[in-house]
A and B are shown apart, each in its own frame.
Chain A
Amino acid sequence: MQFVLSWPVRLFVVAVLAFSLFVDGAGYIYRIANHYSLSGNVPGLPPNFGGWQLYIHKGLDLAGGTHIDYQLTNFPPGQSRADVQQRTIQVINKRVNALNVSEPEIRGGGANNDRITVDLAGVTADQAQKAIGAVSKLVYTKWVPDSNVTNGPEPGYKPALVGLEGSDITSATASIDQTGVSWVVNVNFTSAGGTTFANLTRDNVAACPGDPNTVATANCPQRHLAIWLDLTQKDIDNWENAAYVSAVSSTYNPGCLAAQTASTVCGKFLTDPITLQEIDGGQATISGSFTQASATDLATGINSGSLPVDLVVLDVTQVSSTLGAQSVKLSLAAGLLGLSIVVLFMIIYYRVPGLLASIALLFYAAAVLAVFKVVPVTLTLAGITGFILSVGMAVDANVLIFERFKEEVRAGRTIAAAVDAAVRRAWPAIRDSNTSTFMTCVILGFVGPSQVKGFAITLGIGVVASLISSIVVTHNLLAIVMINSSLRRPSLLGVDRTRSV
Chain B
Amino acid sequence: MEGVREPRVRKLNIIGQRNIFFAISLLIIIPGIVSMATRGFLLGIDFAGGTEFTVSFAQNPSLTQVSNAVAAENDNGSVIQTGNGGYILRYPPLTPALQKQVEDDLQTRLGTANFSQVLEVGGTIAGETIEFALLAVVLAAAAILFLLAIRFRNVPGGWRAGFQFGGSALFALLHDVFLLTGVFSIIGKVLNLRIGEIDSLFVTAVLTVVGFSVHDTIVVFDRIRENLRVSQRLSFEQVVNLSIMQTAARSIITSFTVVLVLAAILIAGGTTLKGFALALLIGIVSGTYSSIFNASPLLVVWRRLQPLR
Contacts and interface: CB of A to CB of B under 8 A. Distances in A.
Given A337-B268, A391-B261, A449-B132, A317 B118 contact: yes
A429 B144 CA distance: 17
Contact of B261 (A388, A455, A456): A388
Interface of A: 61, 69, 71, 125-126, 129, 133, 313-320, 322-323, 326-327, 330-331, 333-335, 337-339, 341-342, 345-346, 349, 381-382, 385, 388-389, 391-393, 395-396, 399-400, 403, 407, 410-412, 429, 432-433, 435-437, 439-440, 443-444, 447-449, 451-452, 455-456, 459, 496-497, 499-500
B99 interface: yes
Given A316-B118, A395-B257, 18 more contacts: A125-B120, A314-B124, A317-B119, A326-B270, A333-B268, A382-B204, A385-B265, A388-B261, A403-B249, A403-B253, A407-B7, A412-B3, A437-B215, A447-B139, A448-B200, A449-B129, A452-B200, A455-B204
A499 B2 CA distance: 7
A318 B53 CA distance: 9
A417 to B, nearest CB: 13
Contacts of A326: 270
B258 A389 contact: yes
A339 B257 CA distance: 10
A459 B256 CA distance: 18
A200 B142 CA distance: 66
A323 B262 CA distance: 21
Contact of B260 (A61, A322, A392, A400): A392
B122 A313 contact: yes
B74 interface: no
17 contacts: A71-B124, A125-B120, A126-B100, A317-B119, A320-B116, A322-B114, A385-B277, A389-B258, A403-B250, A407-B7, A410-B7, A412-B3, A436-B212, A443-B140, A444-B204, A448-B132, A455-B201
Nearest to B121: A315
B96 A447 contact: no
Interface in B223-267: 249-250, 253-254, 256-265, 267
Contacts of B207: 440, 443-444
A500 to B, nearest CB: 8
B177 interface: no
A334 B204 contact: no
Contact of B1 (A331, A429, A499): A499
What does DSSP make chain A's interface, helix, strand, loop or mixed? helix
B280 A389 contact: yes
Contacts of B267: 334, 337
B76 interface: no
A444 to B, nearest CB: 6
Interface in B90-138: 95-96, 99-100, 103, 114-122, 124-125, 128-129, 132, 135-136
Nearest to A450: B200
B121 A385 contact: no
B269 to A, nearest CB: 4
Nearest to B259: A392
Secondary structure at the B interface, as helix, strand, loop or mixed, is helix
Contacts of B72: none
Contacts of B186: none
B261 A410 contact: no
Contacts of A341: 260-261, 263-264
B2 A429 contact: no
A314 B122 contact: yes
A193 B249 CA distance: 80
Nearest to A125: B118
A126 B261 contact: no
A396 B250 CA distance: 8
B24 interface: no
Contacts of B272: 61, 327, 381
Nearest to B114: A320
B46 to A, nearest CB: 8
A334 B265 contact: yes
B117 A320 contact: yes
A331 B269 contact: yes
A373 B58 CA distance: 38
B84 to A, nearest CB: 11
B14 interface: no
Contact of B270 (A381, A412, A497): A381
A389 B204 CA distance: 13
A331 B262 CA distance: 12
A385 B117 contact: no
B75 to A, nearest CB: 16
Contacts of A61: 272
B215 A436 contact: yes
State the 9 A-B residue pairs at the shortest beta-carbon distance, nearest first: A338-B264, A338-B261, A440-B211, A392-B261, A392-B258, A334-B269, A318-B118, A323-B116, A316-B120
